[in-house]
Amino acid sequence: MKIVADNTIPYLKGIAEPVADIMYLNSKEFTPARIQDADALIVRSINKCTRELLKGSKVKLITTATIGFDHIDTQYCKEAGIIWKNSPGCNAVSVAQYVFAGLLTIAFQKKENLSEKTIGIVGVGYVGKEIEKLCKAYGMKVLRNDPPRAEVEGENNFVSLDTIAEQADIITFHTPLTKEGRYATYHLADQSFFNKLQRKPWFVNASRGAVHDTKALIDAYKKEKISELILDCWENEPHINLDLLALTTIATPHIAGFSADGKANGTRMCLENIASQFHLQFEKIGEVIPPLPKNPVIDLNDFSENRIEQAILRCFNPLIIDKKLRESPDQFEWFRNHYNHPREFNAYTVVHATKDEATILQQLGFKLN
């Protein structure tokens, strides 16, 4: 069989070759002519799987190494009999740890105690649940908004978006991007939403850029309805709004889910989808694992204060990629393709933790010695 894969899918090369003819293309090379004879495509969000790309091809399966699938024309796939699969949850831990590290960074800058704050999580799916876990482990109060889940499970453990606008010190969005239906999320954070904000919250979007209305977000910030901004997702990526960039506290080029662990998970899930669909077996799939961190042991005695927080920022410091994006925003896509994928907390072993520190660190996902 023939597979066409984006050449930036990590840990893939050499894994499928024993059982398939695989061709690696960059995103600009994904043309009708190049993918015409492929049985399966392995893609990421930059590869737009449109009617124009797919029409007349032999493609039977599209598998994306991402949670999101708005880059796939699912309606055309249905018409053409093309099966598509995303990788739900593959990078949920990565996004959650990105958000948490960003919140800690701002708390440090403002000399505020993050554990005393209330966070509103909009969208409590794979990512939202991981953020809830981290925030609760750290002692924060969590408000959850997820109308589709509330409809199925009952409203007891969920609150309205209006309640979050009124009560949350931090609001973070983790919904898919949908433009139709009862729970459409396109411009969910719009002028009406921002006008309801009561506590000048920190605003976080690490889901999809168009979940917020850029003009309304800029306006809300200038009117001091929002005090801090963490943005990993932007409308019109990679051509991001420079006025909005200037207002952000932390700005990154859509890399929240780009941990090495999340990338390996996505690649592995794509291969599993192909194996299942075409009744293949990839003998080398166990080799789809990220490399060890350069310094896998974190000694809390290296830090004189804020030891837990310093351990977290040792794993991932958002200000490094933030600085690069601000200096060269036109390199947005280049930064994504050349990102140094960090390892997640569970790749690190912490030593010299007190009993109380150990309890929190274990709940956050660290190993202990």
Pairing of β 141-145 and β 170-173: unpaired
Which amino acid, 26? N
The first and second tokens of residue 266, run together, are 């996505």
Element housing 6 (H / E):
strand 2-6
Residues marked as catalytic: 208, 237, 254
Q: What is the Cα–Cα distance from 97 to 366, expressed in whole angstroms?
A: 12
The first and second tokens of residue 239, run together, are 């051509």
Q: What ranges in the chain are assigned the alpha helix state H? A: 32-35, 51-54, 74-80, 92-110, 126-137, 147-153, 161-167, 191-195, 214-222, 242-247, 260-278, 307-315, 318-327, 332-337, 355-364
The first and second tokens of residue 203, run together, are 């605003």
Q: What is the Cα–Cα distance from 245 to 217, expressed in whole angstroms?
A: 11
Find, among 67, 135, 129, 68, the residue nearest to 101 by Cα: 135
DSSP secondary structure of 109-123: HHT--GGG-EEEEE-
Helix, strand, coil % over all residues of the chain, rounded to 5: 40, 15, 45
Q: What is the Cα–Cα distance from 342 to 360, expressed in whole angstroms?
A: 21
Q: What is the Cα–Cα distance from 3 to 269, expressed in whole angstroms?
A: 15
